[in-house]
Amino acid sequence: MKKLHDLIGKKGKAFWRSIEELAGDPEIQDCVKHEFPQTGALWDIPMTRRSFLKFMGAQIMMLYLAGCSRTLPDKIVPYVKSPEEIIPGRPLFFASALSYAGFGRGVLVESNMGRPTKIEGNPQHPDSLGFTDAITQALLYQLYDPDRSDMVMEKGLPSSWEDFKNVLQQRLMELKKSQGRGLRFLSKPIISPSLAFARQNILKKYPLAQWHQYSALYQDYSRKAYFEIFGKEVQPIYHVEKADRILSIESDFLTQGAGAIAYSSSFANRRGGDKKEHINRLYALESTPTLTGSMADHRLVMPPTQLGNSLAFLCRQLGLGHVSYNSNLSNRDQDQLNAIAQDLREHHGRSLVVAGSQQPVPIQMMVCYLNDTLHNVGNTIDYLPVIEELPEDMTMSLRQLTNDLNKGEVTDLIVLDVNPVYASPYDLHFLKAFQKADFKVHGGLYFDETAQVSDWHIPMTHELESWGDTKAFDGTVSIRQPLMGPLYNGRNVYEISSIFLEEEYRSSLEAVRSFWKRRLDRLDFDFFWEKTVHDGVMEGTSFKPINHSPQIHYVTTPPIDNALTLLIRPDPYILDGEFSNNSLLQELPKPLTRLTWDNAVLISPKTAASLDLSNGEGIEIAYNDRLLEAPVWILPGQANQTLTIHLGYGRSQPGLIGNKLGFNAYELLNSSFPYELMGISVRKTGRHFSLANVQHHSMIDSKRHPVIVGNLSDYEHDPAFAARKTDSPQPAETLYEPKEHLHGQYQWGMLIDLNRCTGCSACTMACQVENNIPVVGKEQVMNHREMHWIRVDRYYDGSIDHPKIYHQPIPCMQCENAPCEVVCPVEATSHSEEGLNEMTYNRCIGTRYCSNNCPYKVRRFNFYEFAKPQRTTALHLSQNPDVTVRARGVMEKCTYCVQRINKARIDAKNENRTIRDGEIVPACQQACPAGAIVFGNITDSNAKVSQAKASPLNYGLLEELGTRPRTTYLAKIINPNPKMEPDHG
């Protein structure tokens, strides 16, 4: 490999996937040529030729004998009284809500005869609009997770709920006498109104007790800034669809956090398709790349201090005299920022400035003033009350608890569904303080780090196992409906609080329902309740915007500092560690880095070159007296002198899946500067870590550009530029007859709009859950054996320091001239008359010729009995009954969700009609918040998919091979500011 130094500042070939590829590493060429480059070395069983033949002979004999076996008759167990609404074989959908990362999301959960099997979005819910993200899809795994705790534990030994209740009641007798002195609770920030009510009642009964809230995903910075400006706890809500110009300050508002789905959907509506009159323009200023940044028309990369100064410069240009900056920016930067300022000014009232929640207070304040001065408030942004029932500074809250613990003021500590022993800043030394309490109770889904050092651990119910309520980002209340009883003996929070209140516990339904009955006080409550539960949203509960003029404060930004800076962020999928044991999320390639099963220190190519580092090499980060060893990952698009690490890894007690993965970034999480550590030092340790990265897997060998991109001006000038760029043979140009067997009434096709796709991987996860796709584990991912049927390829274009970033989802292309079909010796893969490239698992003998011949590399092989863990644990309950569970030695791939096609076809035929457009929605399309995927009958000229495919932007991947893919793409149009230099030199 060429030295990293040589690549800095140079413009490489167009569309490269990794630095190694850009450098022309021969190993990468091997990856392009061979799907499994290392397979040859994997046979490590010592066996002589003779014994091999003996085993083969025995195997054939046994196969023959197995064929003669007579299967034992199965049993059928019917209902005693069949529930009225259940028709066996037809799933039911129930509205419910899930809350993680501090906000609620309405969902519809598919239930197959009582088993929840899939989570879809609730179209009526403002945070879902019918779509989901990857985490929401994967929450189903958490419900069934065999590692969930299923027993009350006393000091690590099994006990019972009754024993716990007795002990607790005795403690409470004492506590009542002292009015609750020394009693403390610690929970996540409460957004559930009924839980807040329970809390209020408990504190009324024990007036000297206190309730603390903590989560490492807090939004303290933005809250603090807004509180200073408005004198009130407020949060912003964006109207992305109204914004013509958006400036994002390292904010991942399109894929992360509250409202992301709604924002992504509105953003995509301004970018998608081929009508570009209303195209918006997105600027991003970033130190570490985000998916939102990858969608930007201009992405300016700069270290954090420069970011603050650049924004301050922008504020000054827009007339904010009370913002000062104290560093000189280069002329080039000033020109760029001037152009942005002018563009924003010209679009005042229709522009929007957004800051990431981890940005420091001065930046949050500047963004607030910018939106005000640009007249965006009331147009593209509104301020709403916060959704937390009891907003407070969570770091302060935890610090106070720790101090009180250290002072010996806390005797009884009840920790509910948080894991502070693992997920808290190092400088609080929470573990040491925690052990000073006499009576420590931990309630949660897992027997985690905090449970280990607690006196008692009680298993709690998953969200889908008990009633509850939650709020969306705009305040809309949803009632959470359970889909099943507690699978692992869990208790819900209302039952636990009933012990403290010395009330008789009836049920979580009764607790939630009676709360709302009292709160709403309506005559038609019964009807209203039924409707709310059915719809998944409570009418009339969304917040009204607050009208407050901001108070003017002076804002200063720290000067530009070239010191090495460390940014600490929650992991995009594992978050603060809550989902460590979720194998689906662990194996989902992380955005931009494409890492699985690990976290790493993200570092820019230039900084890596100066430290002589390559991917996977260990470094030791030192901050004051803190040391942390971790592998590096070189990430093009990362700012120089800036490192990024993600929380959520390095856990000691997550369960079988999350054990010994990655490093613990909490070791460097400081409660005073949680997201940014200035002045760290770094030393190369010489250790090498093996990381499971998928960026070189399933590589397409394309001579032409896989992603076609054009500027808006080029497109307006020459709408058909995409077709010219692909240079593909026209459909008529073939020596053969058109496929005569494609005579079905419907011809299925798919279109993926690259203008809309943000690369969030919701499609990958939705597909995995829908199609019973197994997880293979880190070791097998390193052998290129991950099983995702639809992957999202990430491409770079331009220089190594500052490339443009593109995403391209790749499902099976369902080629009309499928190369895989002709090489199958047993016809296990064949073509249907409706144009589907079918895969028949029971015919497959595992030659893998098809996969070898597939130019798109979308076929996946079961090298081992990957589905076995699902069969032997409660996980088998989560499987989709309409999709075969594949055995070892069988090839599989995207089927366009043929089970859904068949279902719709049968329904249509039973009703004597044709299938309507939009009736069949594959899992990927259903999940995609951006609406980037459209599926339908391409012979119906009125179908959405046909209309979209008629666009001049339509092109097929590797069309030049003559495969005639049924899945095609819309070329991406970017809308750069003509007054600015293009992004990459």
Query: In what helix (H) or strand (E) does residue 383 lie, and over which residues does it extend?
Result: strand 381-385
Report the residue count for the chain. 985
Concatenating the DSSP letter of every residue in 300-325 gives EE--HHHHHHHHHHHHHHTT-TTEE-
Q: 600 or 813, CB closer to another protein?
A: 813
Site string for another protein, 815-844 (x = CB under 8 A): ---------------x-xxx-x-x-xxxx-
Q: What is the 3-state secondary structure (H, E, C) of 111-173?
A: EECCEEEEEEECCCCCCCCCCCCHHHHHHHHHHHCCCCCCCCEECCEECCHHHHHHHHHHHHH
Q: 563 or 826, CB closer to another protein?
A: 826
CB atoms within 10 A of CB 904: 16
Q: Name which of residues 495 to 554 contact another protein (CB under 8 A).
A: none
Min CB(916)–another protein separation in Å = 16
Q: 597 or 896, CB closer to another protein?
A: 896
Q: 69 or 551, CB closer to another protein?
A: 69
> Exactly one of 330, 331, 730, 910 binds another protein (CB under 8 A); which one?
910
Q: What are phi and psi of 937, to 5 degrees?
A: -90, 115
Query: In what helix (H) or strand (E) does residue 337 lie, and over which residues does it extend?
Result: helix 331-346
For the chain, report the end-to-end CA distance as a whole number of angstroms: 23
Q: 81 or 177, CB closer to another protein?
A: 81
Q: What are phi and psi of 845, to 5 degrees?
A: -110, 5
What is d(CA 130, CA 159) in angstroms, rounded to the nearest whole number? 43
Q: 43 or 79, CB closer to another protein?
A: 79
Which tokens belong to 748?
């299925």
Label the pairing between strands 595-596 and 692-693: antiparallel
Q: Is 588 in the site for another protein (CB under 8 A)?
A: no
Min CB(744)–another protein separation in Å = 9
**Count of residues touching another protein (by CB under 8 A):** 39
What's the angle, vertex CA 752, arms to CA 746 and CA 758, rounded to 5? 150
Q: 652 or 872, CB closer to another protein?
A: 872
Whole-angstrom CA distances from 107 to 847, 876, 921, 959 are 41, 22, 17, 38
Q: 642 or 837, CB closer to another protein?
A: 837
Q: Name which of residues 70 to 89 contact another protein (CB under 8 A).
A: 70-71, 73-82, 87-89
Min CB(773)–another protein separation in Å = 14
Q: Is 65 in the site for another protein (CB under 8 A)?
A: no
What is d(CA 336, CA 977) in angstroms, rounded to the nearest whole number? 10
Region of 345-353, 536-544, 898-906, 925-933 interacting with another protein (CB under 8 A): 898-906
Which tokens belong to 244?
């013509």
Site string for another protein, 848-887 (x = CB under 8 A): ----------------------------------xxxx--
Q: Is 743 in the site for another protein (CB under 8 A)?
A: no
Q: 457 or 831, CB closer to another protein?
A: 831
What is d(CA 485, CA 640) in angstroms, rounded to the nearest whole number? 52
> Exactly one of 906, 918, 981, 982 binds another protein (CB under 8 A); which one?
906
Site string for another protein, 392-421 (x = CB under 8 A): ------------------------------
Min CB(894)–another protein separation in Å = 12
Q: What are phi and psi of 72, to 5 degrees?
A: -75, 145
Q: 906 or 950, CB closer to another protein?
A: 906
Q: 33 or 916, CB closer to another protein?
A: 916
The answer to whether the beta carbons of residues 236 and 357 sit under 8 Å apart is no
Q: Name which of residues 710 to 729 contact another protein (CB under 8 A).
A: none
Q: 547 or 842, CB closer to another protein?
A: 842
Q: 467 or 789, CB closer to another protein?
A: 789
Q: Name which of residues 171 to 230 contact another protein (CB under 8 A).
A: none
| CB contact burial 743-753 (16+ within 10 A = b; e otherwise) | eeebbbbbbbb
Region of 400-408, 602-610, 732-740, 899-907 interacting with another protein (CB under 8 A): 899-907
Min CB(863)–another protein separation in Å = 20
Min CB(56)–another protein separation in Å = 20
Q: What are phi and psi of 366, to 5 degrees?
A: -60, -40
Min CB(750)–another protein separation in Å = 16
Min CB(65)–another protein separation in Å = 12
> Exactly one of 2, 155, 519, 909 binds another protein (CB under 8 A); which one?
909
Site string for another protein, 89-108 (x = CB under 8 A): xx------------------
Rg (CA), the chain: 29
Single-letter code of the amino acid located at 89: G
What is d(CA 720, CA 716) in angstroms, rounded to the nearest whole number? 9
Min CB(66)–another protein separation in Å = 13
Min CB(850)–another protein separation in Å = 14
Q: What is the 3-state secondary structure (H, E, C) of 547-583?
A: CCCCCCCCEECCCCCCCCEEEEECECCCECCCCCCCH
Label the pairing between strands 183-187 and 210-213: parallel
Q: 730 or 910, CB closer to another protein?
A: 910
Q: Is 902 in the site for another protein (CB under 8 A)?
A: yes
In 3D space, the residue among 529, 509, 533 whose CA is nearest the CA of residue 521 turns out to be 529
What is d(CA 569, CA 99) in angstroms, rounded to the nearest whole number? 20
Q: 46 or 88, CB closer to another protein?
A: 88
Q: 474 or 882, CB closer to another protein?
A: 882
What's the angle, vertex CA 809, arms to CA 803 and CA 815, rounded to 5? 130
Region of 370-378, 582-590, 708-716, 895-903 interacting with another protein (CB under 8 A): 895-903
Q: Is 898 in the site for another protein (CB under 8 A)?
A: yes
Q: 82 or 166, CB closer to another protein?
A: 82
Min CB(80)–another protein separation in Å = 4
Region of 163-171, 212-220, 813-821, 896-904 interacting with another protein (CB under 8 A): 896-904
What's the angle, vertex CA 78, arms to CA 72 and CA 79, rounded to 5? 155
Min CB(761)–another protein separation in Å = 24
The answer to whether the beta carbons of residues 834 and 816 sit under 8 Å apart is no
Q: 661 or 836, CB closer to another protein?
A: 836
Which tokens belong to 868?
């076995």
The answer to whether the beta carbons of residues 534 and 474 sit under 8 Å apart is no
Which residues, in sequence order, are CB contacts of 840 under 8 Å at separation 6+?
A: 828, 829, 830
What is d(CA 476, CA 127) in angstroms, rounded to the nearest whole number? 9
Which residues, in sequence order, are CB contacts of 641 under 8 Å at separation 6+?
A: 303, 562, 563, 564, 565, 604, 607
Region of 8-16, 65-73, 417-425, 710-718 interacting with another protein (CB under 8 A): 65-73
The answer to whether the beta carbons of residues 536 and 478 sit under 8 Å apart is yes
Which tokens belong to 464?
């889908």
Min CB(902)–another protein separation in Å = 7
Residues engaged in binding another protein (CB under 8 A): 68, 70-71, 73-82, 87-90, 830, 832-834, 836, 838, 840-843, 882-885, 895, 898-899, 902, 906, 909-910, 912
